[in-house]
Structure 1
Amino acid sequence: MNSYRKRVSFLSLLVISSLSLTACESLSKIHLVKLGIKIPIKEGGMELEDTSKQGAEEGDAAQKPADATVTGSEEPSDAVVFSQLDNDENIKTEFKAMQSEEFVGTGEFMAKMSNPGITQSAVDGKYSINFDAADIGEVSKIILSDMLEENYILNPAVKGSITLQTTNPLHKDDLLPTLEMLLRANGAVLVKRNGVYRIEPDARGAHTADVSILASEQLGAGYQLKVIPLQYVGVIDMAEILKPVVPANAILRVDFSRNLLFVAGTKEELEKIINLVNTFDVNFIKGMSFGLYPLENTEVGSTVADLEAIFNKGEQTPISGMLKFISIKHLNAILVVTQQREYLKEAKKWIDRLDQQNGVIGDGGVIVYKVQHVDATELATTLSSVISGIVPTKSKSLSLAPGEKLGSLSNKNQSIQKPKRVAWLTTSRSQGNASLEGVNIIADEPNNALIIMAEP
């Protein structure tokens, strides 16, 4: 009796466990189908996909074309197999080649230098000066105090003698410039500060004079410090232009970060500096001319090297440095920069002469062509047979677009799906056409493209 009860209890437990497992599996499948998740089922060593009709109907309608599958022995349509090739007959394949461009500048790199003429007064001067080895202090007293009635301070360190004789009488406006000239000849400067003239040694002039930003070309008398802001030219280059023609201590400092020039000097010296600055501080780029010339048959690096050898190397020529050739590799183009706009025409002529194709480009070229309307493997086979003159033998099988997988979806036992065809293509040298010898074509099946290689 006890043995019978044990058997019944064991069978009951076994039935309950089976029902529980079956219910869990069913609920799990229903839940996954509602979520649109495909349930993988392994049959015959291959992994297939099982999607019920109910799950497909409740799925997103927008995903139906992407999830379309082929079952049984039905042949897939071209629209499905080549869905990624965009087989639109109206597709635009036009390519517009890059054209040469020229940007002609003004060719002007200097402003017109102002040269104010010396104005002669209609009234004769009334100050006659005659000094013969006179002390510098005595000369300063006569001109500043007696003639101009100005207050002044003479530094005891200033010493020297002056000899001056005027044939024609001077005007009153000529007295201060004349005194400044005499003091500079003796290593001294005349500085006006707080309404008082100070005669100081040349070395102390920069410490005594007031500093101001140049706002106007109208300058007062006396030794002064000016800050000149530059607009177009770098301050270092401007200083190099000024150094040979101004006094040694006229340029006090160059401020590279702010592009400022600190200068010091008398009224006449500062007027000369300002005139030079205004002459050369012009828009340099506006005067330059640029030409962008794409190459069709040659490589930009080698062509630029040839042009440099023609124009800018070897013995010095009158045009050395007038032409600059820059390689623009991503455009396979040459940028020509010159100060003389007429040289663009000459440079263009030589670029065209050098951009000539002699057989295959360079030491060997590689071109990648993306096939749009047919299968790349079949096209490569056809082109290879045209080049070599040998008709390849191959078995006809279905070709697929990159990324597509052909399979059958069912939860029933079926035969294993046909594997995707893998085409192996080996091309050889041309035998029937000598002009195409050394051309190899390789099919890039994953990208549906052709890789064309050529040897020189």
Structure 2
Amino acid sequence: MRKTQSQTVICTAIALALLQSPSGFAQMGGLPGAGVGTNGAPATGQTQQDTGFVSKKTGKNLADSPIEDITNENFPDVIESFDYPNAEIADVIKAISDLTGKNFVVDPNVRGKITIIAPTRITVAEAYKAFLSALAINNLAIVPADGFYKIKQARSAQRDNIETYSGAYYPDSDQMITRIFKLKYVSAEEINKQVRMLTSTQGEIYAYGPTNSLIISDYGANIDRVAKILDQLDTQGFEERMEVIRIRYARAKDIQDLLTKIIDKDNLGSSSRSVPRFRRSTQASSGTSSSGSEVYSVVVADERTNSIIVVGNRNGISKIKQLISRLDFRLRADENGGVFVYYVKHSEAEQIANTLNGIASESKKSQEQSTKSGAPPLSLSARDGEIAPANTAIFGGEVKVIADKITNSLVITAGKTDYDKVKTILSKIDIPRDQVFLKAIIMEMNTNVTSQWGVDYYKFDKDSNGIGRVGFRSGSLNNLINPTEDTGGVFGFGLGSVFDITIPGMGGTSGSGTFKVADLTGMIRILKENGGGNVLSTPQITVLDNEEAMIEVGEKVPVSLSSTNAQNGSTQNSVKTENVTTKLTITPFTSPDSDRVQLKVDQEVAGLSNTSVKATELAKIAIATTTRKIKTSIVVDSGDTAVLGGLMKDEDSENIRKIPILGDIPILGWLFKSKTTDKKKTNLVVFITPKILRNATDNAEIVDRKINERIDFVQKFMNGRDPHGSEVDALPRRVRDSAPSDEMEEPAIETF
């Protein structure tokens, strides 16, 4: 509610009367610490007829003037002092209200003390601005409200009816205001990131993209500082525009990918925008700011028109054009990429294709990870714009490899540079592989222990030195009961003539031996015989490095199967076959710079067992088999022999010979029969000899050696008659250097 003119006159008269008293205006609780005029006289420009301080320029009272009009020029009236040391906020508000004639509404949360020290003469405008500064220090602000001014917390005042300015003029005091800056050349969003830190703790700043404007709510003095900075940043040359750049020789999508890698690594992989936006600052050689920085957005590659659409400022688009001119040029005929065919020489095309596609896949992943993680991208030097690789990807573009099995070739789709890299890789992996000649001996080392006992009857003829097994002289039972009779048929040691008999091979140097024996002698035989080794197989094979070789020799054994009918209980037999074989599987691994061979060996020997099946019914249809297996990995020098063994097997067998009927008599039947028990312990041993064949000469040496071994075998065991001699002679071989030596190792079994 405004004061009337009569009320103002009365108040002014009272004030002038009180000023003549020693206590002054402060005694009435009006304006403590403030004096008007000199020697008690009214301040300049103020009379008893004034309704307050009135601007001669605008004609408005101070109470009705907005903050931008409260200046020294409009209100030059002077007061003697404006001192409020550690004063209550409410007291200072009351004093400034009395001085300016403004009405205030104070928020209940506004409390505390403020300090204003101004002992010298100041104008009324300066006093009001000092009051605003004191409020700002205490995070308070003034908000106009229909003839009143609300004093409240500054944070909440931003969302209240504070004054908003968008033109060139705005107050630079500590009044809380909102200022709108319309930028012409730079991006409001980019500037917002840089000047946000310049606002006060109570201020806020927003960027509005459609009009490229900044909206700042803060104290006027702080906004004035930001405005001066914006004047320096918002300069010509940074305004954004759109341009379409036609790509003539390259693919627009490839150019876009390169630009994404080259420009501003800090913005790569950002998910905040669908279109990446880049900013690049340049510095002059002296270290001062140059003509400006480049701001550009690579929007999209239009594949239909093979063009790049770029949005940026003038400097940014100019730099993009410069870079594209270095990338978009016609390649020579021999540099163009496309489809290439490579004929594989020493390997399988399908295996090499898998390897190359794996490398291409990892290269693509490396490119994607480099882009997403913000790793150092391709850089553009300020001097000449040269591109320097900064990622670990092997290929620069997409590489596809397809294998053609029929021609054993590779169909490669790639750029020329990438194809050159592919050929470099192929020169390292498509090379002749070593071969390994493997010779193995699979044998059983056994110990035979044969135990024989029983009664045999022999008749020796003293005239002809003949010997023969005979029966009894008489069919009388007495011959069996009384074996000491001369006709006894058991031992016959007591009677009978004795004569000399010569047995060949039982003597000393003469080669024969003479023994005295009776004409009928019963012999109890207990003999033991020892056996030796049994070579099962001697396989020989040549195999490529890192390839599996297998040799299997054996037979199929019929085995009877039985099944029972659930309805009538009848049993039906069927036959199936089982493999009883000797199988050797070897995989060699060699190294180009070593003569050592790593072997993965899998040896299996299966056979029929002498062990009888215990169950009577099962024995009629079942056959027992044995299996012995070795599986290991070893390392052997080329030409050396490795021995694998230790698989032991025990076999027991019995053989009974008897005289029919008599041999079946309980207890006494043992006088008419003999039993042989064989106990055999077998150890499976495998000898393996690898020989690395690195070239054709090594292979020819093996062929010559095998042919020479065959010739020696034919000469020694076939009297030089070779039924296949013509075929062997037709084989290509080198000239034999010398005749075979007698000390040459004789093969146990040769297979051709």
Q: What TM-score range do you get, normalising by the shorter chain?
A: 0.3 to 0.5
Greater strand percent: which structure?
2
Return the structure number with greater relative CO, CA threshold 8 A, min gap 6: 1
Greater helix percent: which structure?
1
Flag the structure with larger Rg.
Answer: 2
- What is the TM-score normalised by the length of structure 1? 0.40
